Each structure stands twice: as structure tokens, then as C-alpha cells.
Amino acid sequence: MGLKTIIFAIMLAFKSYILISQNTDSIFNSIDQNFNISIENQNKLFNFYNDDFNLWKDKVDLKKLSLEAEKAKVNTYNIELSSRTKVLEEVNKYIGVPYIWGGSNPNGFDCSGLIQWTIKKTHDIIIPRTTKMQSSKWKKELNYNLNEIKFGDFIYFKSELKNEISHVGIYTDKNKFIHAPNRNEKVKISEINSYWKSLFAGFISLDFIIN
């Protein structure tokens, strides 16, 4: 093999290395960009809750809202079910129900209204109306270890704007929870991804709530 052939082969290999490096950088840059866009979109969706709060806080005092007992009659069960199964089966009924700020019945729920209605239906217990009231009352019972959460537990999230607890859902399983997100969405199941983990503010055991 001649010297020129060797030099040509080295140059060709070097160009290929540069091209591969550039493509790799481009791929990772694209991944980073798509991830940032995804996070930004999730932020916009969750911030609808903050927008709702600012819009309705002076019009509707959630602290004065309460369930009418006749509208949330406790269920009767023909078979024996665990407390957690009762809660999970009940809250699953409301997937697809519209989000309404201050909503506390199946015509429309906000996040804490969904939780309050579900517990009244399954265990005939009235819990505090808002996430702030709930988290304040149960502050000492908040558990911050997600590895210990069980299906049926209440999971709380904080607001990015004020770093205060402002959202709640019911944990299902496989790193997911059911909640009423915001006025742009309906009651749904969401995965506890990196975005929600960044806002995670603890959970309350269902056993504590009902006992």
C-alpha cells in the first residue's frame, strides 16, 4: 500500500469520525430540545391550575364549600372489598368528568373536590375541602418517600409559583395517579414522571384518613 493511499485512508477515516460526532451531537441536542419543549408544555398545562386560582380566588371561597350529604350517599357493597380497592374503584368512575374550579360532584370536579367526593362515597367521611386545608391538617403525617406509597393514598404536589401544596390526586399503581388537573383537561390518569416528581410534596396514607 502506497503512502498516498495510507494518507487518503486516514483522511477519510477522520472525516467519517467528524461526521459521526456531528450527527451524535445533533441527535443529543435534538433530544435535549424535545425534552425541554415537553417540560415547558407540561408546565403550561399545570399552570392552568394557578391561573384558575388567580381567576376564582376572589369569587369562590372554597373554604365555605361543603358536600351536601344527600348528593354523596355512601355506597353499599355486596362483596367484601378492601378500603383501598373501594377508593380506587370509585375514583376510576370519574375519569373523563370535566374539571370545574370549586366542583365537588360528578357534574364537575376540581382536584380536592374529586378526593372529597370519593372518600364520602366509599367511607362516609367528610375530609377538609381544599388541598391547603388537607395538607395543613395532616402536615405531620405527610410521607415524602415515594417508595412507600400504596394504591389509594393521597398524593400532593406543590405550585411552582408559590412553592405551596396546591394539587392532589389518588395514587393507583405503577407510578400513576388519578386527578382533576385543570380547566383544559378532564379527570385522568397521569404518570408520575420527572415533571411531577419535581413538584411532589408528600403523600398521606389512606389508612390514616379513614381510621
Q: Which residues are catalytic?
A: 111, 167, 179
Picking from 144, 134, 192, the residue whose alpha carbon sits closest to that of residue 165 is 134
Among 89, 64, 102, which residue's Cα sits nearest to residue 180?
A: 102
Using alpha carbons, select from 193, 195, 192, 194 the residue that is nearest to residue 203.
Answer: 192
Which grid coordinates are listed for 78?
355486596
Cα radius of gyration (the chain)? 24
Q: CA-CA distance, 112 to 126, in Å (whole number)?
A: 12
User: Of 121, 118, 129, nearest to 62 (Cα)?
Assistant: 129
- The residue written with cell numbers 435535549 in the block is 32
